[in-house]
Amino acid sequence: MNTTSPLLQCTDVRKAFPKPDGAELLVLEGMNLELREGQIVGLLGRSGSGKSTLLRLIAGLSEPSAGNLRYLGKPISGPAPGIAMVFQSFALFPWLTVFENVALGLEAQRMSRPEIRKRSLAAIDLIGLDGFESAYPRELSGGMRQRVGFARALVVHPNILLMDEPFSALDVLTAETLRTDFLDLWAEGRMPIKGVILVTHNIEEAVLMCDRVLVFGSNPGRILSEIKVALPQPRNRLDPSFRELVERIYVEMTARPAGGAPGRKENFPGLGIGSVLPHVSSNVLAGLMEAVAAPPFNGKADLPEIASDLTMEIDELFPVAETLQMLRFAELEGGDLKLTEDGLAFAHAALDERKRIFTRHLLTYVPLAAHVRRVLDERASHSARKSRFIDELEDFMAEEAAEQSLRAVVSWGRYAEAFAYDDENAMFSLENPT
Amino acid sequence: MKRFEPYVFLRDFASRWDVLAFIVVIGLVVFLGETSRGLFAPLTALEVTPISLDPSHLPEYAARTTFRMFAALALSLLFTLTYATWAAKSERAGKLLVPILDILQSVPILGFISITVVFFMSLAPGRVLGAEFAAVFAIFTSQAWNMAFSFYQSLRTIPIELSEAAESFRLSPWMRFWQLEVPFGMPALIWNMMMSMSGGWFFVVASESISVGHTTVALPGVGSYIALAIEQRNLTAIGWAIATMLIVILLYDQLLFRPLVAWVDRFRVEQEPGARVPDSWALTMMRRSRLIQGATLAFHTAVMFTSRAVKRRDQPLRQSSDKPRRSLDLLWVMLIVAAVVAGLWHIVVVLIQNTPLKEALQVCGLASLTMLRVFVLIAFASLVWVPIGVWVGMRPRAAQIVQPIAQFMAAFPANLLFPIAVYGIVRWKLNPDIYLSPLMILGTQWYILFNVIAGASSIPAEMRYVAENFRITGWLWWRKVALPAILPFYVTGAITASGGSWNAAIVAELATWGDTHIQARGLGSYIAEATNAGDFHRIVLGIGAMSLFVVVINRLFWRPLYYYAERKYRLT
C-alpha cells in the first residue's frame, strides 16, 4: 500500500437530525474512514445504518454535526470539484439527451465548448455508450441509463467516485455486466479516478468489488468491523475463499452487540415498549419459517445459503430473521438461523393452530402488542384511539418510527386475531367487523 | 456512419443567426406597431372610431384580443417564475406567499377590474394605454394564480436525487433553475396555461368593455364587439363573434398548445416509455423547419450563455448555529404583523365606518343565496356529466373527440347566452332567481367532465376485467367500481368548477340584452350593480364577502373532501 497522504479522511464523524420536540435523532456516530489511492472501499449495511448518510457527507451534500471530513487534506464544505457521485435511481435529467446529461457537469465548470465536447465524447466512448449520444434517457434500458450515470460522473475527472447502491435498481444480469465492465476499466486504469467508495447492501457485491469492506451497524449507524478482501481480481463467486469471506461478513452482521453476557436469554435482545418494530408481514414470517423447517435445512439454516436459496438480499432477509428472533420463533447467531421448538411447531401446523401459537408469542414477547391488548381489555368500551398509542410511543422514538411500529403491531394483531383495527376512524377494538 | 456532432451549429451559427434575428426583430416590430398603434392615442379616439358590428372588423378585433391575452399570459408566466420560485425557495417568504396566493385565487376576478381600472387609467391619464393596461391586468388575474400554484408544487416535489445530482455537479443556482427546475415544472405548467387561456376568454368581455360609474371605455376587441352586440340586440353579430372565437381558439390550440403538449412530453420524469405519446402535426412541422430549430437553439444558447455568465458562489453549507437567523425571523414576523395591522386598519376605516350593520347582514344573506346556487348547480352538473364522463373515459377514441369540444366549451363566455336567457325569461315570465343560474356553471361544468374523463380512463384494465368476470353490473358497478375509482379526480374537478362558478356569478346573475336587465338575487348581482354604480365601498364589501365565503368553503368542505378522496380512493 502506498504511503502518500490519503485521498479522503473522516475522523469521529457524527450526524444527528433535530426532532420536532427539540431532541435529536442520532444516525451516525464515531465514524472513522480513510480512502487511499487505488482503493475501492465498500460501505456495507442495512437500510438505516447511515451508510448513505455518510456518502452524502463526503459528497458535501450535507454537513456533519461533529467531526472532520478532509479531502486531499482540506476540509469538505459543499460539493468538492474532485468528488463525483453515481446515484441509485440514476438521477438523469429526462429532458436532456445522453450527451447533454454527460456534458452538464462540464458546463457547470464553464469549460470551453470544444473541450466539453471532446471530454464528453471520450467519457461516452469509454463507458460503452457510443451511438446513444442523441438518445433521451426514457429511450434507454436501466443498464444503459446507469452507464450514462457513470459517464456523467467520470467526465469531470474526479479523484473520488462515490457510488450509492449503483446496481440495486437493475436486474441481476444487467447488474453483473455493469459490475464486470466497471472492474475491467478500473483494473486497466482507464478511468480518471483514484479511489472509489461503494455503498451497498449486497454482501457478494461488496466482496466482489472492494479492497476493504466496512460493515455498518444500526441505531445509531456505526462501523462494526472492517474486513480486508485480499483476493486477486477478477474474483470468482464460487471460489471457496470468496464464500468464506461472504460467510464471515454474515457472521459479523448477525453478531450480538459487544458486552452481552453469554447465555440463552441474551440471544433475544431486550425489548421494551420503546423499541422500534420492523414492518414484516406475517406471510413472510411464515414463509421463512417454512423454508428453514423444510429440507435441506431441517430447522437450521446458514444465512448466506438461505438468502441465495430464496433470492433475498440482506436488506430483506435480516428484518425477517430478527422479527422471528424477537418473537422467539428462531435464534440468530454466527450467521445461522435456528428455529425454536415453537418455531418448528408453527411451521408444521395448520392455520388455526398457527394462529394460536402466533397469538401466544405475540402477546408474550412483543410488549407493545401486549400493551394494546391490555388497554382494550381494561376499557369498558373495549376500544381505543390510535393517537393514544402514538403519543405514548413518541416518548421513545421519532414520529415515523412510532407509526411504523404501530403498523407492524396492527398487522400482526390482525393475523393473530388478538385485536381489530379500523383505519377509517383510527380506532383499535376487540370486536370483529360484522 | 455519420458521427454524432453536438453543437453542430457552431460552424454556420453566425449567418443563420443574422437571418433569424432580422426576421424575428422586424416581425416583432411590425406586430407590436400594428397592435399598439392606438395605445398612445387619447381616450377620445375611441369615441371617434367606435366599435363596429361589421364582421369585416372582426379579424382585427380578434388579433387585438389575442394579443392582449398573450400579453397577459406572458405576464402570468413572469409572475409564476418569480413569485412561485420565491415562495418555494425561501421558507420564510413561503409561509406568507402561499396563503396570499390562495386568497388571491378566491378573490372574484371581475372585482379586480373595477378596483384597478382607476389606478391604471391614472398611470397614463387620458390615454388608451391606461385602459389597455387595465384590460391586460384583468386577464392576467384570471390566468396567473393556478399557474403559480402548479409551478410552486412542482418545485416542492423535485425528486431528491435529481436535486442532489445538480448539487453534486456544482450547478450554479441560475443553471439549476433553467436546467432542472423549469423543465421539471414544465408539463404541469403548460397544462395550466391551457386552462388559463380558456378561463381568460370568459372574462374578455368584461375586461375590454370597462365601465366604472359614468366612465365607459370600449377597447377594440372581440369582447367589446360582444358587449356592443348585446347592447344593440344584434343576434347576427353574436353569431359572428362565436365563429371568430371558435377560429381563434382552434388556431392557438393547434399552433401553440398542441405542439407544446407534445414537446413537453419528454420533460415527464417517469421514465417509462410513454404509453401514449401526444402527437401534433404542428410540432412535426416545427421540428423540421430550420427557422424554429434556430429559435430553440437561440433559447438554448441563451440559457447556456447566461449560465456561464452567472458564477456559482461556493458558500459553506448552512451552519447549525442560527443566531442571526432568529433575529431575522423576528424582523420578518414584525413586518408581517405591521402589514396585517395596516390592512386591518384600512378595512376598518373603509368598510366598517361606511357600512351599516344592516348592509353587512344583507350581503351575507346574498352570499348564502349564491352559495346555495353554486352547490345545487354543481350537484346537477355532476348528475349529468359524471355518467357521460365515465362512458367517454372508458372509450379512448370517444375521449379524443370529446376533449377538444369540452375545451372549447370551457372558453365560451356566458354573456353569449344572454340573448337566449333573457328572451326565455321574459317570454315565459320565468323566475330569474332560478333560470339565470345555469349561466353560472356554463363555463365551469366542463372541469367536472375533464376530470371525470381523466379518472375513468385511468381505471386499470384489470379492474374492469374483474368487474366483468364477476358480472358486476348496473348500480352495483357504479357504486363499487366506477364512482370510487373516479372520486379523487371528480373532487378536483368539482373544486375548480365551484371556484369558477363563484366568479361567474358576477356576470351571470345580472343578464342584459339591449335595455332589458334581468337580475337574480345574489352576491354576484350585488357586486355587478355596485360596479355599474361605481360605488367603491360596496364593491369592496361584496368582493371581501365573496373571498371570505370561497376561502371558508374551501377550507371546511372541499379540502377535507379532497384529502379523504386522495387517501382512500387514489389508485396508485
Phi, psi of A111 (to 5 degrees): -80, 165
Q: Count of CB atoms within 10 A of residue A355's CB?
A: 17
Contact B179 A104 (CB under 8 A): yes
List Cβ neighbours of A32 (8 Å cut-off, separation of 6 or more).
A10, A11, A12, A13, A223
For residue B124, the domain's CATH number is 1.10.3720.10
Give the Cα separation of B132 and B111 in Å (integer): 17
- The side-by-side arrangement of strands in the sheet containing A336-339 is A300-302, A336-339, A330-333
Q: What is the pLDDT of residue B5?
A: 41
Q: What is the pLDDT of residue B293?
A: 62
Length of chain A: 434
Burial code (b: 16+ CB inside 10 Å, e: under 16) for B205-229 equals: bbbbbbbbeeeebbbbbbbbbbbbb
Judged by a CB distance cut-off of 8 A, whether residue B167 touches chain A is: yes
Closest C-alpha among A60, A8, A54 to residue A31: A54
Strands (E), A191-271: 195-200, 212-217, 222-228
Give the Cα separation of B315 and A422 in Å (integer): 50
Q: Are residues B139 and B78 in the same domain?
A: yes
Q: How crowded is the C-beta side of B471, counted as CA atoms within 13 Å?
A: 0
Contact A62 B317 (CB under 8 A): yes
Name the grid cell of B322: 442560527
Q: What is the pLDDT of residue A149?
A: 93
Rounded to the nearest integer, the mean pLDDT of chain B is 77
Which positions in chain A touch B164 (Cβ < 8 Å)? 56, 59, 61, 85, 87, 91
Which positions in chain B touch A91 (Cβ < 8 Å)? 159, 161-162, 164-165
* Domain assignment of residue B165, yes or no: yes
Distance from CA of A114 to the nearest CA of B (A): 9
Judge whether residue B535 has pLDDT over 80.
Answer: no
Q: What is the pLDDT of residue A138?
A: 85
CB A282 within 8 A of CB A412: yes
Amino acid sitting at position A76: I
Which positions in chain B touch A133 (Cβ < 8 Å)? 4, 6
Residue with cell string 437571418: B19
CB B180 within 8 A of CB A93: yes
Please return the burial class of B92, using the count of CB atoms within 10 Å of its CB with bins 0-12, 13-18 and 19+: middle
Q: Which residue has the higher pLDDT, B379 or B465?
A: B379
A102: nearest CA in chain B?
Answer: B169
- Going by their DSSP bridges, the two strands B209-212 and B215-218 should be labelled as antiparallel
Q: Which residue has the higher pLDDT, B401 or B301?
A: B401
At residue B4 the predicted structure's pLDDT band, cuts being 50, 70 and 90, is very low
Judged by a CB distance cut-off of 8 A, whether residue B56 touches chain A is: no
SS (H, E, C) A283-308: HHHHHHHHHHHCCCCCCEEEHHHHHH
CB A95 within 8 A of CB A44: no
Please compute the mean of the pLDDT values over residues B171-195 and round it to a whole number: 86
Which positions in chain A touch B170 (Cβ < 8 Å)? 79, 81, 105, 108-109
Q: Three-state SS for A9?
A: strand
At residue B41 the predicted structure's pLDDT band, cuts being 50, 70 and 90, is low
Q: Are residues B38 and B135 in the same domain?
A: yes
Cα-based angle A84, A171, A234 (whole degrees, multiple of 5): 65
Is the bond preceding B316 in cis, omega lying within 30 degrees of 0?
Answer: no
Structural domain count of chain B? 2
Q: What is the pLDDT of residue B45?
A: 59
Judged by a CB distance cut-off of 8 A, whether residue B272 touches chain A is: yes
In order, the DSSP letters of B208-223 are HEEEETTEEEE-SSHH
Q: What is the pLDDT of residue B229?
A: 87
Judge whether residue B154 has pLDDT over 80.
Answer: yes
Beta bridge pairs of residue A429: A383, A420
Q: Three-state SS for B234?
A: coil
Reported as a single tens digit per residue, the pLDDT across B466-480 is: 888 888 888 888 888
Name the grid cell of B541: 364589501
Rounded to the nearest integer, the mean pLDDT of chain A is 85
Q: Where are the alpha helices (DSSP H) in B394-482?
A: 396-410, 418-428, 432-435, 445-457, 461-469, 474-477
Give the Cα separation of A224 and A208 in Å (integer): 20
Cα-based angle B24, B27, B32 (whole degrees, multiple of 5): 120
Amino acid sitting at position B502: W
Give the Cα separation of A326 and A342 in Å (integer): 13
A59: nearest CA in chain B?
Answer: B168
Give the Cα separation of B572 and B563 in Å (integer): 15
B568: nearest CA in chain A?
Answer: A424
Distance from CA of A61 to the nearest CA of B (A): 7
Domain stops at, among B291, B310, B329 = B310
Which positions in chain A touch B268 (Cβ < 8 Å)? 94
CB B402 within 8 A of CB B453: yes
In order, the DSSP letters of B435-451 are HTGGGGGTTTHHHHHHH
Closest C-alpha among B115, B108, B107 to residue B503: B108
Judge whether residue B556 has pLDDT over 50.
Answer: yes
The winner for highest mean pLDDT among A137-146, B341-350, B558-567 is A137-146
Contact A93 B307 (CB under 8 A): no
Contact A138 B168 (CB under 8 A): no
CB A174 within 8 A of CB A144: no
Q: What is the pLDDT of residue B366?
A: 92
Distance from CA of A147 to the nearest CA of B (A): 15
Phi, psi of B108 (to 5 degrees): -60, 125
CB A166 within 8 A of CB A88: yes
Q: Count of CB atoms within 10 A of residue A46's CB?
A: 20
Beta bridge pairs of residue B210: B217
Name the grid cell of B239: 353569431
Judge whether residue B148 has pLDDT over 80.
Answer: yes
Which positions in chain B touch A157 (Cβ < 8 Å)? none
In order, the DSSP letters of B41-62 are SBTHHHHHS-----GGGHHHHH
Burial code (b: 16+ CB inside 10 Å, e: under 16) for B527-549 equals: bbbbbeeebbebbbbbbbbbbeb
CB A193 within 8 A of CB A82: no
At residue B288 the predicted structure's pLDDT band, cuts being 50, 70 and 90, is low
Q: Three-state SS for B270?
A: coil
Give the Cα separation of A117 and B547 in Å (integer): 56
Residue with cell string 433470492: A311
Helix (H) or strand (E) holding B186: helix B182-202
List Cβ neighbours of A70 (8 Å cut-off, separation of 6 or more).
A8, A9, A10, A11, A76
Residue with cell string 457478494: A204
B308: nearest CA in chain A?
Answer: A110
* Domain assignment of residue B390, yes or no: yes
Q: What is the pLDDT of residue A250?
A: 85
Amino acid sitting at position A430: L
Reported as a single tens digit per residue, the pLDDT across B408-446 is: 777 777 677 777 788 888 888 888 888 888 888 887 888
Which positions in chain B touch A137 (Cβ < 8 Å)? 271
Q: Are residues B156 and B232 in the same domain?
A: yes
In order, the DSSP letters of A147-196 are HHHHHHHHTT--SEEEEESTTTTS-HHHHHHHHHHHHHHHHTT-SS-SEE
Judged by a CB distance cut-off of 8 A, whether residue B9 touches chain A is: no
Give the Cα separation of B197 and A295 in Å (integer): 69
The DSSP symbol for A29 reads: E
Contact B183 A108 (CB under 8 A): no
Cα distance between the two ends of chain A: 71
Name the grid cell of B501: 362558478
Contact B169 A79 (CB under 8 A): yes
Is A8-254 CATH 3.40.50.300?
yes
User: Residue B213 is part of which domain span?
Assistant: 11-310
**Which of A104, A144, A423 is the best substitution to test chain B (most B C-beta atoms within 10 A)?**
A104
Distance from CA of A166 to the nearest CA of B (A): 13
Give the Cα separation of B189 and B146 in Å (integer): 9
Which positions in chain A touch B308 (Cβ < 8 Å)? 107, 110
Name the grid cell of B513: 340584452
Domain stops at, among B310, B331, B356 = B310
Closest C-alpha among B486, B492, B496 to residue B458: B486
Contact B169 A156 (CB under 8 A): yes
The DSSP symbol for A219 reads: T
Q: What is the pLDDT of residue A171?
A: 86
Cα torsion angle, A248, A253, A259, A263, sign: negative
* Domain assignment of residue B438, yes or no: yes
Judged by a CB distance cut-off of 8 A, whether residue B12 touches chain A is: no
pTM: 0.78
CB B363 within 8 A of CB B541: yes
Closest C-alpha among A111, A325, A84 to residue A195: A84
Closest C-alpha among B27, B321, B166 to residue A104: B166
List Cβ neighbours of B503 (8 Å cut-off, separation of 6 or more).
B108, B109, B110
Closest C-alpha among B442, B472, B444, B452 to residue B388: B452
Give the Cα separation of A162 and A195 in Å (integer): 9
Strands (E), A318-403: 330-333, 336-339, 383-385
Nearest to A108 among B10, B162, B171 (CB): B171
Q: Are residues B361 and B290 in the same domain?
A: no
Q: What is the pLDDT along chain A (434 residues), one digit of tens a residue?
A: 445 678 999 999 998 887 666 677 788 888 889 999 999 999 998 777 888 889 999 998 888 988 889 998 888 888 888 899 999 888 898 888 899 999 988 888 888 889 999 999 999 999 988 899 889 888 888 899 999 999 999 999 999 999 999 998 888 889 999 999 999 999 988 888 999 999 998 888 999 999 999 998 877 788 888 999 988 888 888 888 888 898 888 888 876 554 333 333 333 444 577 777 888 898 999 999 999 998 888 888 888 888 888 878 777 888 888 889 888 999 887 778 889 999 999 989 898 899 999 999 999 888 889 889 989 888 888 889 988 888 888 877 777 888 888 999 999 999 988 898 988 888 898 876 54
